[in-house]
Amino acid sequence: MTAETLKADVPAEVVPAAVEVHDVHKWYGAHRVLDGVSLTVRPGEVTVILGPSGSGKSTLLRVINHLEKPEIGHVSVNGEPIGVRRHGGRLREVSERTILSQRSRIGFVFQNFNLFPHLTVLDNVAAAPVATGRLTKPQAQDLARELLGRVGLADKAGAYPRQLSGGQQQRVAIARALALRPGVILFDEPTSALDPELVGEVLAVIKDLATSGTTLVIVTHEVGFAREVADKVVFLDGGRIVEQGPPHEVLDKPRHERTRDFLSKVL
Ligand code: ADP
Ligand code: MG
């Protein structure tokens, strides 16, 4: 059998999910921040997470990236459990080194860009593929130039982050996330620290990724953007998923009072 027929014979559900969050509970003392969250993100899908401040959105992204460890439940990325391994049918914790390697396959774009201030734009983008031993420095710099072109910043390669606007810095951060060729990129309110006139250029870059088949999980309050790019919208409140579905259902015909209430405040 050729690879082609093999592929055609494999039902969609056999392809591992890009992200699988399974019944995750996270608490700090008595405070339940995530209270049984389950979520599946298919390869190439764009998932937008909405919810009021304090509802657990950032914590959910941090659990997916294993920056936080859930008290109950687990997360898999591209079919690989994060932070644990199966051993004789039971789950065991893995080494910090393995976690770092797993994390390098998940892109993360923060609200405040978090660029290295002492490195040029080019080296910000090239640093991780070199540090993880995946590329030589010249290879990483070639890739960085290509990715800077993709986010419209080819002419800023030699600049330092402080010389750029917030919108430009965030586009560098997106190029940096792409440099590790991640299976999924997580965005935590990527435009909420920006002046309003700079929001559009960052959303345009994210939209370009969305339409080119990159798997994205985006926390944002930009409901119009969610309607445009999301395959699935998830509404989180009080550490629980209140409802999820395609944007025309969750945003235009929300079934729950809490979703309606939230949307009436942000629209
Ligand atoms: P969101 O991103 O939706 O605004 P977060 O995930 O940041 O929400 O936080 C959810 C709740 O968890 C908040 O009430 C926050 O105060 C609490 N929280 C987050 N991180 C910690 C922490 N490290 N220790 C204690 N409480 C935390
Ligand atoms: Mg947050």
**Crossing angle for the helix pair 121-131 and 137-150, to the nearest 10 degrees:** 130
Look up residue 161 and give its amino acid.
P
Closest approach atom of ligand 1 to CA 219:
2
Q: Is the dihedral of CA 156, 161, 163, 168 positive or negative?
A: positive
CA of 150 to the centre of ligand 2 (A): 27
Ligand number, closest to the Cα atom of 55: 1
This prediction has a pTM of 0.92
* 54 within ligand 1 shell (Cβ under 6 A): yes
Residue of 10 and 238 predicted with greater confidence: 238
Average pLDDT over residues 252-257: 97
Query: Which fold does the domain 3-105+182-266 belong to in CATH?
Result: Rossmann fold (3.40.50)
Question: Average model confidence (pLDDT) for the chain?
Answer: 92
Residues having C-beta closer than 5 Å to ion ligand 2: 57-58
CA-to-CA dists, residue 191 to 157, 224, 228, 250, angstroms = 22, 13, 16, 22
CA of 53 to the centre of ligand 2 (A): 7
Return the structure tokens found at 183: 């299976």
pLDDT band at 11 (very low <50, low <70, confident <90, very high): low
- 26-58 pLDDT per residue, tens: 999 999 999 999 999 999 999 999 999 999 999
pLDDT of 104 reads 86
* pLDDT at residue 8 greater than cutoff 90: no
Question: Concatenated DSSP letters for 151-216?
Answer: TT-GGGTT--GGGS-HHHHHHHHHHHHHTT--SEEEEESTTTTS-HHHHHHHHHHHHHHHHTT--E
pLDDT of 1 reads 42
Percent of the chain's residues with pLDDT above 90: 82
Average pLDDT over residues 121-127: 98
Can you give the residue ranges of every domain in the chain? 3-105+182-266, 115-181
- 140-180 pLDDT per residue, tens: 999 999 999 999 999 999 999 999 999 999 999 999 999 99
pLDDT of 199 reads 97
Look-up of token digits 């990483």: 140
The edge-to-edge listing of strands for the beta sheet with 31-41 is: 31-41, 19-28, 72-77, 80-81
* pLDDT at residue 210 greater than cutoff 90: yes
Which of 28, 34, 49, 187 gets mutated to test ligand 1 (max ligand atoms within 8 A of its CB)? 28
- 86-123 pLDDT per residue, tens: 777 777 788 888 888 888 889 999 999 999 999 999 99
Average pLDDT over residues 228-240: 98
* 239 within ligand 1 shell (Cβ under 6 A): no
